Chain A
């Protein structure tokens, strides 16, 4: 009762990194609340293959649901598992990845349980909330913090009355760490048919095709990112050249992706990839908060922008005031000249 739950996502028998990141965060929240961290995973042929990818992140109890047709994921069976498990376990918090699966499953579960869900949180904290209207103080609530309204504000959301308090978090926002402290590491294998009705399996996956990522933007030590100011798809070519000489990767702002200058999977920001590189070179990016949310923990930030007042300049270590057409070729040239 009253524990912190993390829904663990898998591809085949591979546990997704975002889930390990959430387990790390969930462990911290559980310690602060002095409760246990529980994890739930559902798939096909996963028994004996996923436990060691989950338990090291500080899990007290792991529920493994293993049955045919639980992979590839479909909405109804996974919803049934969580809804019925949560009715038994009464968790106070449930975290899941803000992935295609988490954003399909989370709302369905929250609607079934009439609990509140906050999407794409960038921070999670524990704190109290005073309901001034009803003169009531709630202790130990989950603060679900996220940019809102197109990234122009940051909102802290709470669910005072409803449980579990549910939140999704994007991949890369939290950092995963193996837990050094004590935890129980119990594993149970509940009977799936007690949780999922046969009618839940009506949606059939005819074809499921996943490719390994084409790039390693998330883990790249140097990221060269372009914004709407790059002007065109061709404009991005020089960023790829710069990234190549620096052994980095190319990313883009939402505006650049929307304009078709670079691929969707390279989008950096709240609704894209979150990166923590050693060096972040922002070219022609004005710096909407949604973008900042995806790169603010970078080591050194260099902004190349013709507008000296671009918002991103405020968090930059180096601001180069000039056009990208002029500056980027110079960066390439002088790096080549000065590095061995």
Chain B
């Protein structure tokens, strides 16, 4: 059966590569110094979606993301790998959202997209590591959820069979569509970008990504409507501003503390035989090791 699949994807700062230059003189994180990347587990989810599209002729895959205009890059990255379309939720009213307000925004957009069979995203994003948005989107849409998925084994007769990794084991579950699935980083990696698709979509942008004075490609945008990506505001998805962004977030940040390790009195040794043996003897004498 043909499936309508929406992939939830987030543009995140690459927190795995926070180097010394990514810290300001005051010791805070300089977010602008970090490269913005496609959240890694969302790529695993995209791969599962693209496989389902191949197995089920007539299916479509769309990438839904929320962020500032530059997050349009996430949709392009999806198109380069085989997605058919995408939507960028962008509005100042969406800013400052915790997971609940984020899932509200995504759920309203999914309702607007309409008739979705599978919503699939990464288990969690590396800038928050909360794993909450998937289940919260499912709840807001009143859909079933399957988290920690390793592989979508098959979709037939209106049911998805999914292998998932649980604490200390594995599980296979069967869930009726429509369903929300979150995918682990240990699932199959995403296919690389396809050169032909890169050529086709490299000029694709959201209207807000284009400079106000126009670009050299304005005539191209008129000829090829697929180069104008969907861009939705709170009003476009009929969202309630009180449930979006900071206003719609029950959690508040009371304090942020940069990490300062309490320095211990430590002994610094070299790798010399005398130093290493000395330490071992000390630990043995004090019965710290047996």
Main secondary structure of the interface of B (DSSP, over half): mixed
Which one, B129, B145, B161, B256, contacts A271 given CB within 8 A?
B129
**Interchain nearest-CB distance for B75 vs A (Å):** 24
Within 8 A of B (CB), among A268-325: 270-271, 278-279, 287-289, 292, 299-302, 308, 311, 313-323
Q: What is the CB-to-nearest-CB distance from B141 to chain A, in angstroms, rounded to a whole number?
A: 10
Find A206's partner among B136, B174, B268 (CB 8 Å cutoff).
Answer: B174
B29 adjacent to A104 (CB under 8 Å)? no
Residue B283 lies at the interface, judged by CB distance under 8 Å to chain A: yes
CB-CB < 8 A to B280: which residues of A? 331, 334-335, 338
B266: contacting residue among A204, A222, A319, A331, CB under 8 A: A319
Most buried by B among A112, A116, A300: A116
B195 near A: Cβ within 8 Å? no
Q: Is the CB of A107 within 8 A of B257?
A: no
Are B269 and A203 in contact, with the CB atoms below 8 A?
A: no
In the assembled complex, how far is the CB of residue A101 from the closest CB belonging to chain B, in whole angstroms? 7
Q: How far is the CB of A216 from the nearest CB of chain B, in Å? A: 13
The answer to whether A159 and B251 touch (CB under 8 A), given A246-B289, A317-B264, is yes
Point out the residue from A75, A150, A208, A330 that lies within 8 Å of B18, measured CB to CB: A150
A119 in the interface (beta carbon within 8 A): yes
Which residues in window 248-283 of A have CB below 8 A to B?
A: 255, 258, 264-265, 270-271, 278-279
Q: Are A104 and B288 in contact (CB under 8 A)?
A: no
Contact mask for chain B residues 254-272; partner A; CB cutoff 8 A; 1 contact, 0 none: 1111110111101111110
Q: For the complex, is A120 an interface residue (Cβ under 8 Å from B)?
A: yes
Known interface pairs A159-B251, A315-B261; A153-B29 also in contact (CB < 8 Å): yes
Contact, CB under 8 Å: B171 / A209: yes
Structural contact, B148 and A150, CB atoms closer than 8 A: no
Contacts of B259 in A (CB 8 A): 147, 151-154, 289
CB of A205 closer than 8 Å to a CB of B: yes
The minimal Cβ–Cβ distance linking B236 to chain A, given in whole angstroms, is 23
Q: Choose the segment among B2-10, B98-106, B111-119, B204-212 that binds chain A (4+ C-beta atoms closer than 8 Å).
A: B98-106
Q: Is B78 an interface residue (CB 8 A)?
A: no
Q: Which of A165-218 contact B (CB under 8 A)?
A: 202-213
- Kindly list 14 other residue pairs between chains A and B, CB separation below 8 angstroms, not including A72-B171, A114-B100, A278-B289: A107-B103, A107-B131, A107-B132, A107-B133, A110-B100, A117-B100, A148-B256, A150-B15, A151-B259, A160-B252, A203-B146, A203-B175, A210-B168, A318-B279
What are some 25 contacts across the A-B interface (CB < 8 A)? A72-B171, A75-B144, A75-B147, A100-B167, A108-B139, A111-B140, A115-B250, A131-B252, A150-B127, A153-B256, A153-B259, A155-B257, A203-B173, A211-B169, A255-B16, A258-B185, A279-B283, A289-B259, A299-B288, A300-B288, A316-B264, A317-B266, A321-B270, A330-B277, A334-B277
B contacts, CB < 8 Å to A: 13, 15-16, 18, 23, 28-29, 98-100, 103, 126-136, 138-140, 144-148, 161, 165-176, 185-186, 249-259, 261-264, 266-271, 273, 275-277, 279-281, 283-284, 288-290
